[in-house]
């Protein structure tokens, strides 16, 4: 079962991270568009963000479910690096919920941040991914 759990975990991680990387890029573009001056462009980008959020959400939860199943199937549950990796997974779920809060602000035309903020915000999942990959590859503790 371990290899099946691992296969599904990796698949859902890839699909989820595609959304986690692209959604804030849409926010960069939304923050640059004046909703009053360019309503069609704003509506197009907003629709893209809404559809992407709905599409990627199940992948995050399934990645977390299979991420919990892998160490049980392989007997790694007692290793400390697994617990830190799960914390990173929970932080990524939290990041996704923050993305939802930003999406609601865009829906309400109440965005308070510049495109520069979203360029930096976009890097958070990259850093968390590097941490998770380090833990999986080197199993430091």
Per-residue pLDDT of 42-80, as tens digits, reads 999 999 999 999 999 999 999 999 999 999 999 999 999
Position 6 scores a pLDDT of 97
Nearest to 23 by CA among 116, 101, 99, 111: 99
| pLDDT band for position 96 (cuts 50, 70, 90) | very high
Instruction: Please tell me whether 113 is known to bind a ligand.
Output: no
Position 81 scores a pLDDT of 97
Cα distance between residue 63 and residue 56, in whole Å = 11
The pTM is what? 0.94
Domain that holds residue 42: 2-138
Position 91 scores a pLDDT of 97
Instruction: Please tell me whether 85 is known to bind a ligand.
Output: yes
Cα distance between residue 90 and residue 55, in whole Å = 19
Position 61 scores a pLDDT of 95
Number of domains into which the chain is organized: 1
């Amino acid at each position: 079962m371990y290899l099946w759990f691992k296969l599904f975990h990796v698949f859902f991680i890839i699909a989820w991270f595609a959304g986690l990387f692209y959604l804030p890029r849409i926010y960069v573009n939304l923050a640059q568009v004046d909703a009053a001056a360019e309503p069609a462009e704003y509506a197009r980008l907003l629709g893209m963000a809404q559809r992407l959020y709905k599409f990627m959400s199940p992948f995050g939860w399934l990645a977390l479910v299979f991420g919990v199943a892998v160490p049980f199937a392989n007997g790694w549950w007692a290793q400390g690096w697994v617990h830190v990796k799960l914390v990173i997974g929970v932080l990524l779920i939290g990041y996704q919920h923050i993305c939802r809060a930003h999406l609601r602000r865009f829906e309400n035309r109440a965005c308070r941040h510049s495109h520069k903020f979203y360029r930096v915000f976009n890097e958070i999942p990259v850093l968390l991914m590097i941490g998770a990959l380090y833990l999986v590859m080197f199993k430091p503790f």
